[in-house]
Amino acid sequence: MAKACEFCGKGPLTGNNVSHSNRKTKRRWLPNIQHKKLTINGTTAYRNICTSCLRTQRSTS
pTM for the whole thing?
Answer: 0.74
- Could you tell me if residue 41 is left (phi over 0), alpha (psi between -120 and 50 degrees) or otherwise beta? left
Write down the pLDDT at residue 60.
54
Write down the pLDDT at residue 1.
63
CB 31 within 8 A of CB 5: yes
State pLDDT tens for residues 32-41.
999 999 988 8
Strands 24-29 vs 33-40: parallel, antiparallel or unpaired: unpaired
Question: Residue 58 and residue 11: Cα distance in Å, rounded?
Answer: 17
Three-state SS at 54: helix
State pLDDT tens for residues 2-27.
799 999 999 999 999 999 999 999 99
